[in-house]
Structure 1
Amino acid sequence: MENIIAINYGEVSLKGMNKSIFISQLIKNIKFKIRDFDKAVVSRDQGRVYIEGYRPEEEESLIGLLKEVFGIYSIIPAFKFDGGMEEIEDVVLRAARAHVQETPVKSFKVETKRVNKKFPMKSPEVCMSLGGLILENIEGLEVDVHDPDMMVFVEIRSYNLVFTRRIYALGGLPYKTGGRAMLLLSGGIDSPVAGWMTAKRGLEIEAVHFHSYPFTSERAEEKVMDLARHLCRYVNSIVVHSVNLLPIQKAINENCKAEEMTILSRRFMMRIAEKIAMERNCQALITGESLGQVASQTVESISVTNQSVQLPVIRPLIASDKVDIMEIAQKIGTFETSILPFEDCCTVFLPKKPLTKPKLSRMLESEKHIESEELIEKAVSEKTTREITVN
């Protein structure tokens, strides 16, 4: 008998002819995630991914890491062994006793999956026999088939599996199976969540961060790098491009109306992000915009912003309530960093009354007073690039 972790991959199982591509990438991601466990072996068999060969004391650490891998629906720590009904009875009792010692329960249910049709007993017969065995040998338990405190699962294949826990993970699709996109990453709450959500759908992400140094501090930029490090728990590494927006902001401030600063800055940011994205073979942009949250996120503002770029813009938070976004930020570990009080580029030359219903024609007219292409080229050429990896 050995400890084994079975991994169910949920949505991936619904894929058609290209399913193997998704599973292969999932296995690569799992191997990278648990790379420090030198004895662990990852394999694929009968619609699941398995991890075995590890030391029993390493199991909980492995589970903790696997819970951060996109594409995994559930994680099952189990006992794997050969043999017939007698061996199954021994392992079921062992597993049930261990579960009761760790988590006091009053009721249970046995569920059997008989994949090996040559096994002499049918699934209901196995359940009845094992249920009676547990009742006889573990005091204080009763059977509850509707809402049990403990489930005892038995799978009879070419080998046997017995387990009492099923840990639900992140789900989604394996990272790096959905193309590449460029995330506009600020130091706020929303954009890291947007990046996490799109990565969960398989998109490989890079990031571009805008600062206004020396009007914004180096610590403000490092805060963004810290957010990227948090995201690396789920995506392993992120390339972050830092762009100084200050020369563009100064040009807008000197040549355009104050109320236009927010929307014009946003249009420039999108154009710069698109230029970098295309250089980096990204097929889309990602933003943390949520409809109506601030002046640049009204329908009118988003429409004007959209028309500054050709690439599609993914806005996973567009209909999300701020409270819901904050809950996800807390869940993924970015919230505490996001709320640190360091200024970002959006605070520079901030107008008292920014436009909330801008007109594209007016924005285009205002941009004629600025050397747009020259400023964009300069900003891109002077960017700095760092690869952020998991701690």
Structure 2
Amino acid sequence: MNYDLVLVRFGEITIKGRNRNRFEKMLLGQMKTALKAFPALEYERTFGRVYLHLNGASYEQVAERLRDIFGILSFSPVVRCLQEIEIIRDAALQVLRELSPAPRTFKVSVKRAWKEFPHDTMEMNQLIGAHVLRNTPELKVDVRKPDIELKIDVQYENTYVYCKVEKGAGGFPLGMNGKAMLLLSGGIDSPVAGWMALRKGLEIEAVHFHSYPFTSEQAKDKVITLARRLSYYSGKIKLHLVPFTDIQTLISQTGYDSLIITLMRRYMLRITEALAEKNGALAIVAGDSLGQVASQTLGSMNVIGRSSSLPLLRPLVMLDKQDIIDAAVKIGTFDTSILPFEDCCTLFVPKNPAINPNLNIVERVEKYMGDEIIRLTDRAIQETETIVLTEDGIPGEAEEKEDSWF
């Protein structure tokens, strides 16, 4: 069936309270941005929902994009008709007849939001069901497990008839809950953590630490590709590329090999916190999963996390690796993440990293590095390269950009 109208439902949590109008406007703006490839679309906003007039655009193509817009609970292709029972019955029959493959059983579900409609819900179920059965004798009623559920939504202004309900991405409108910095490596986990942060209404800026010339240009391109994929969900994303070679080298020369990863991650957090302050972010998002590697034991996460005063959000912390892999496949980052280009997190890895580091010893080592580590940290912040990536792959103009590190 060639539908020309799509009913888009907002998540309930975004339409409660005094901020409902602002949240709805925010989500509508994000829909228009995400669907900019379909200029013929028209948007009709009502309470808690939006009607999309396709005006010849492909429903399948529009639906593919709608599934990835955060804040959308569900959506349906619908037939809109007048508030007259005969017209509603004919529309219901038309929707059922044009389904492919043809169902064998059905049930009618009426939602009667307009209470002044002359027929109540029970009457509507009977009137529409009987009309369908008279005109399609091959169909049977099954109220428990029907092949298809014929939905009749009686609103104040019109009635909407449909069968399909497609699940949206859910969550909150982008940016509704503030901004955070994402620690983005070239691995599987951190892009998934970034996607989950976006879904919860956080605007994110990505921070990647590189160790050129120990890491290659392909490693940088890999991270840019991952960030660009995340920008598909957010419209654009700012990526901060932090030179980390000198800091890693100094840490590796302290003689405390088992603490290299712990120290390295503590300074990553310190630098990220400084970038967060410059860019108005209130939290840091990391792709840690409890017990996955030495730096992600509870003892390690405790010592590492104490280096930053910002909230450290770990959305993957209780997920198994296979759950994270499945999510990476779903959001389209997995194939890039497994490309064999090393990032700085794989360099200087000791044979026996500490899994329960002692905070006092860690702090003594940091004190031993003295002014030099402070100087290198400040320089890394100053020499950070910032680029803005958009979903169509065209780099935006960076707000601050130093010379390339290649």
TM-score range, shorter chain: over 0.9
Aligned residue in 2 for 1:339? 338
Distance in 2 between residues matched to 1:132 and 1:356, nearest whole Å: 69
Aligned residue in 2 for 1:136? 134
* SS class of match (1:282): coil
Contact 1:259 1:351 in 2 (8 A): yes
AA aligned to 1:29 is Q
5 Å-filtered alignment, 1:1-391, equals 3-13=4-14, 15-52=16-53, 54-99=54-99, 102-157=100-155, 158-370=157-369, 371-391=372-392
Distance in 2 between residues matched to 1:2 and 1:359, nearest whole Å: 64
Displacement after TM superposition at 1:140 (Å): 2.4
Distance in 1 between residues matched to 2:83 and 2:252, nearest whole Å: 78
Contact 1:7 1:50 in 2 (8 A): yes
Displacement after TM superposition at 1:24 (Å): 1.5
Contact 1:256 1:366 in 2 (8 A): no
Displacement after TM superposition at 1:232 (Å): 1.6
Contact 1:11 1:71 in 2 (8 A): no
4+ residue runs over 6 A deviation: none
Displacement after TM superposition at 1:250 (Å): 0.7
Displacement after TM superposition at 1:306 (Å): 1.2
Distance in 2 between residues matched to 1:116 and 1:246, nearest whole Å: 66
Displacement after TM superposition at 1:3 (Å): 2.5
Distance in 1 between residues matched to 2:219 and 2:119, nearest whole Å: 66
TM-score by length of 1: 0.96
Judge which range, 219-228 or 115-124, deviates more: 115-124
Displacement after TM superposition at 1:15 (Å): 2.6
Distance in 2 between residues matched to 1:386 and 1:120, nearest whole Å: 60
- In percent, how many aligned pairs have the same letter? 41
* SS class of match (2:326): helix
* SS class of match (2:225): helix
Contact 1:69 1:170 in 2 (8 A): yes
Distance in 1 between residues matched to 2:93 and 2:143, nearest whole Å: 18
Displacement after TM superposition at 1:7 (Å): 1.3
* SS class of match (1:368): helix
* SS class of match (1:279): helix
**CA deviation vs aligned residue, 1:234-254 (integer Å, no higher than 9, x gap):** 111110000121100111112
TM-score by length of 2: 0.92
Aligned residue in 1 for 2:397? none
Displacement after TM superposition at 1:92 (Å): 1.0
Q: Give unmatched runs, 5+ long, in structure 2.
A: 393-406
Count, aligned residues? 388
AA aligned to 1:177 is M
Relative to 1, partners in 2 of residues 1:307 and 1:13: Cα closer, same or farther, differing over 3 Å?
Answer: closer
Contact 1:256 1:369 in 2 (8 A): no
**CA deviation vs aligned residue, 1:51-83 (integer Å, no higher than 9, x gap):** 12x234422211111111001010111011224
**CA deviation vs aligned residue, 1:113-158 (integer Å, no higher than 9, x gap):** 2223332222211211211222222242110111111111112222
Q: Give unmatched runs, 5+ long, in structure 1.
A: none
AA aligned to 2:302 is S
Contact 1:12 1:22 in 2 (8 A): no
Contact 1:210 1:345 in 2 (8 A): yes
**CA deviation vs aligned residue, 1:11-59 (integer Å, no higher than 9, x gap):** 335632222222111111111111222221223213312212x234422
